[in-house]
Amino acid sequence: MSEIYRIPSADLAALMPELILSGTGVLILLLDAFLPRAQRLLAPLSAAGTLYAGWHLVGAAPSGLSFGGLLESSLLTVAIGCVVLISTFLAILASAGYLRRERLGGGEYYALLLWCATGVLLMGRATELLTLFVALELLSICLYSLAGYHRQLSVGTEAAIKYFLLGAFVSAFVLYGIALLYGETGSTRISELGPYLATGDVSALAVLGLLLLICGFAFKMSLAPFHAWAPDTYQGAPSPFVAFLSVAPKAASAVVLVRLLALVMPDGSATWSDLIALLAVLSMAVGNLVALAQRDIKRMLAYSGIAHMGYLLVPLVVLGPGSYEPLVVYLLAYALMNAGAFTVVSLLYAQPGEQHLISELAGWGYRFPLLGVCLTICMLSLGGIPPTLGFIGKYLIFVQAIDSGQLALALVMRVVYTLYMRPEVREPSGLLLDYPGRIAAVLAAFGTLALGTLPGPLLDWVKRLGSAY
């Protein structure tokens, strides 16, 4: 074989988590096509592939640059990769019962979910803009397909179309921004953009290109004013998938913003800091205020997610070594509490095409005590109430900035109040409370509570991450 086409073994080892995920997806499609009786093996196989990819990511993947400097492996990428794979694993557990209850084929669903995770991991590790765009498109195509996976539901089709149309415009913005930056700097490597953009003598076209990139990844993070897709997509998409959609793409997009702010603006330019601060404040205000008026729990969680992404931007306003600890802890907390909340929503609402009214949960905290406790813990964590991991994340964030969490507190207490302090308004029917779904809810709630009560080992680990930068 020619040397041109020979891939070094170190590069293959660095790419092994993504290869495991994509290979497992292909295997699942083949099993679904040629062994229809193996349907019940698809979810365990997907979960096993995710765990194996996680093991390789944490314990076996080499650190440093690979593929000629196109991909990076570092403590930050490992931490974000762990958040992504945790959300993938919990979404797989929650999906098994949902797919059986709705009588939907599972092969392409699990394959698309694993390929989504592959795209997210690549996007978080990319250090070159075209590689970043390819990973973004791999992720986006799978997300559009999964958003409309329940083809019998008009609301699901509507959600997918809205997400696809807006996402297509955003992809064009990102690609145009890359073209402008390349035209002005002669490079698409982020590390080589820094010296040019740090000189202060930057052309208007380069600034426009950078703004287009920021807008594109602000869309993926559902930051205001790029958030319009989130409520409708969350409401129409399968609830277990939303547990993944609400976390994984946002985690990778946050890493991209960190790269742009750290390498492209190393001098901490006040103009760019003000822009990030504006996005943070606008997202917190819009997310919390609009969420208070929602009656549908999935739409409420969508607007809550907009506010949480605003909180996540706070450490990035003045980026430094101390920004990585709150970023990683908050993303992990958000992954666990969102996965738990959407898993319980998936289990307790049997009609996915209808509204998921909060009022219908009245009294169900006593009828379904385990799920009620799990949802309560996740909601308390969303509100930043101790002793949950959400409180630890908010504490670390607001050590750097002063803000109030009173709106978020009012928001989540509304759900807890309805669960336990209102009489039932309807009998549950058509539910499938399967064990994998319950396990996913329990794992998310337990992780939120345990890491909030004993955060020492987690904080020690992420402090090492900050010191590496």
Number of helices and strands (H, E) in the chain?
A: 21, 2
Task: Give the pLDDT of residue 266.
Answer: 57
- pTM of the entire predicted model: 0.85
Residue 224's SS3 state is coil
State how far the alpha carbon of 168 is from the alpha carbons of 136, 162, 171, 235, in Å.
11, 10, 5, 20
Give domain limits for the chain. Answer: 8-467
Distance CA 354, CA 92 (A): 23
Contact 299, 47 (CB under 8 A): no
Long-range contacts of 262-271 (CB under 8 A, 24+ apart): 262/319, 262/469, 263/190, 263/191, 263/193, 263/194, 264/190, 264/193, 264/194, 264/197, 264/198, 264/210, 265/197, 265/198, 266/194, 266/198, 267/198, 268/318, 268/319
- Identify the pLDDT of residue 327: 85
What's residue 5's pLDDT? 62
Cβ pair 182, 188 in contact under 8 A: yes
Separation between Cα atoms, residue 392 and residue 395, nearest integer Å: 5
DSSP 402-443: ----HHHHHHHHHHHHHHHHS---S---S----HHHHHHHHH
**Is the backbone peptide bond immediately before 386 cis, with ω within 30 degrees of 0?**
no
Dihedral angle over CA of 381, 382, 385, 388, nearest 10: 20
User: What's residue 408's pLDDT?
Assistant: 42
Distance, first Cα to last Cα, the chain = 40
Distances (CA, A) of 322 to 50, 66, 132, 449: 30, 27, 26, 24
Residues 6+ apart with CB under 8 A from 254: 80, 221, 312, 316, 327, 331
DSSP conformational letter for 318: T
Interhelix angle for 248-259 vs 324-348, to 10°?
Answer: 160
Residue 423 phi/psi, 5-degree rounding, is -70, 155
Give me the pLDDT at residue 94, please: 87
Token code pair at residue 80: 């974000």
The predicted structure's pLDDT at residue 389: 83
- Spatial CA neighbour of 135 closest among 77, 205, 198, 51: 77
The strand pairing partners of 128, in sequence order, are: 189
Q: Whats the size of the chain, residue-wise?
A: 469
User: How many angstroms from the chain centroid is the CA of residue 26?
Assistant: 23
Tens digits of pLDDT across the chain (469 residues)? 445 567 777 888 888 999 999 999 999 999 988 887 878 888 899 999 999 999 988 876 667 888 888 888 888 888 889 989 999 999 998 888 888 887 887 788 999 999 999 999 999 899 899 999 999 999 999 999 898 888 777 888 888 888 898 888 889 999 999 999 898 888 888 888 877 776 667 788 888 888 899 888 888 888 888 888 888 888 888 888 888 988 888 888 888 888 887 766 555 556 677 788 888 888 888 888 888 888 888 888 888 888 889 888 888 877 777 778 888 888 888 888 888 888 888 888 766 656 777 777 777 777 788 888 888 888 888 887 778 888 888 777 776 554 333 344 334 434 444 544 455 555 555 555 566 766 777 777 777 777 777 777 777 766 666 555 5
